[in-house]
């Protein structure tokens, strides 16, 4: 196993700048950048910094092909929490990514299993160079909940109660959060050349400790990060504290 690169920064702004540096370095390293995008609170400061660099410093995403990790099943295509719409509002709509180069699972697909197979092939053919990830409080990656096989592919999953509770703030209560989702599998995610993982806040501290220092087990999907050849984990002090990182 290659060691995971762990960086602890003192505040959200510094963390976002360090993460944006990784993204910008990747974009400058290839003529055909393929960027894996995540949604959620952990990555919003990063997207804000990338938007700032686009408008203030001329950072361009024109050549980027981007792929979302996951999406809910059962939301209409116009629903604001459909992740294709969400990433448009939070990031893609503010930079020069060609909308035709933004790919996501179809949250309105009539056959979700068939859609998962189609999307898995699409992601695999593209070859993600840099995948942005957050970590759930229960150690999930994308919507790969505890118990997910490290060999899993893009598929339909049942969301854990903890995940639905965490995401209820984006809906009109927990009962409005879809119970099913489509997600890239653990093996699909691990195909990316470089994984960039962000976690901030005390609620992520136990998941970070388990992922970085506990057993490598499907009970903690994020522990699979330690099996990958190139991983950068960016933490704030509160997320790092139980792992004894960053002082």
Q: Which of 9, 49, 90, 140 is catalytic?
A: 140
171-216 pLDDT, tens digit per residue, is 998 889 999 999 999 999 999 999 999 999 999 999 999 999 999 9
Confidence class for position 246, pLDDT limits 50, 70, 90: low
Mark whether 25 is an active-site residue: no
Among 49, 70, 166, 236, which one carries the catalytic annotation? 70
Q: Say whether 145 is catalytic.
A: yes
DSSP assignment of 11-31, as one string? SHHHHHHHHHHHHHHHHTT-S
Q: pTM here?
A: 0.96
Q: What does the pLDDT read at residue 117?
A: 98
Q: In which element (H, E) is residue 39 found?
A: none
CA–CA distance, 131 with 193 (Å, rounded to integer): 8
CA–CA distance, 240 with 218 (Å, rounded to integer): 21
The token pair at 209 is: 């400790």
**pLDDT over 90, % of the chain:** 85
Residue with tokens 């930079």: 95
- 46 CB-near residues (< 8 Å, 6+ apart): 16, 19, 20, 23, 132, 198
The answer to whether the beta carbons of residues 108 and 72 sit under 8 Å apart is: no
Both tokens of 92, joined, read 């893609």
Tokens of 150: 């490290």
**Which H or E run contains 151?**
none
pLDDT bin (cut points 50, 70, 90) of residue 8 is: very high
Q: Mean pLDDT score of the chain, rounded to an integer?
A: 95
| Topology of the domain covering 5-136+145-243 | Rossmann fold (3.40.50)
Closest C-alpha among 155, 74, 68 to residue 113: 155
- Which of these is catalytic: 90, 106, 115, 138? 138
Catalytic-role residue among 90, 145, 166, 236:
145
Contacts of residue 65, defined as CB under 8 A and 6 or more positions apart, other chains included, come to: 32, 33, 34, 35, 101, 103, 126
Asked whether 47 and 90 are in contact (CB, 8 A), the reply is yes
């Amino acid at each position: 196993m290659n060691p995971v690169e762990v960086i602890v920064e003192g505040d959200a702004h510094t963390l976002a700048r360090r993460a944006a540096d990784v993204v910008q370095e990747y974009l400058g390293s290839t003529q055909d950048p393929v960027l894996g995008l995540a949604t959620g609170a952990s990555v919003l400061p990063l997207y804000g910094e990338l938007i700032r660099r686009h408008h203030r410093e001329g950072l361009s995403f024109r050549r980027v092909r981007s792929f979302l990790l996951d999406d809910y099943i059962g939301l209409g295509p116009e629903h604001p929490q459909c992740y294709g719409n969400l990433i448009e509002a939070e990031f893609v709509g503010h930079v020069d990514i060609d909308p035709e180069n933004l790919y996501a699972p179809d949250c309105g697909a009539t056959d979700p299993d068939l859609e998962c197979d189609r999307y898995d092939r699409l992601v695999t053919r593209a070859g993600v160079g840099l995948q942005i990830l957050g970590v759930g409080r229960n150690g999930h990656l994308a919507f790969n909940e505890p118990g997910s096989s490290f060999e899993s592919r893009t598929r339909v999953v049942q969301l854990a109660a903890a995940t639905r509770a965490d995401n209820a703030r984006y809906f009109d209560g927990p009962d409005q959060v879809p119970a099913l989702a489509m997600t890239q599998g653990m093996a699909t995610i691990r195909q990316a050349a470089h994984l960039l993982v962000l976690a901030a806040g005390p609620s992520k501290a136990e998941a970070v400790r388990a992922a970085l220092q506990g057993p490598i087990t499907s009970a903690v999907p994020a522990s699979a990060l330690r099996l990958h050849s190139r991983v950068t984990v960016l933490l704030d002090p509160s997320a790092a504290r139980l792992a004894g990182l960053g002082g």
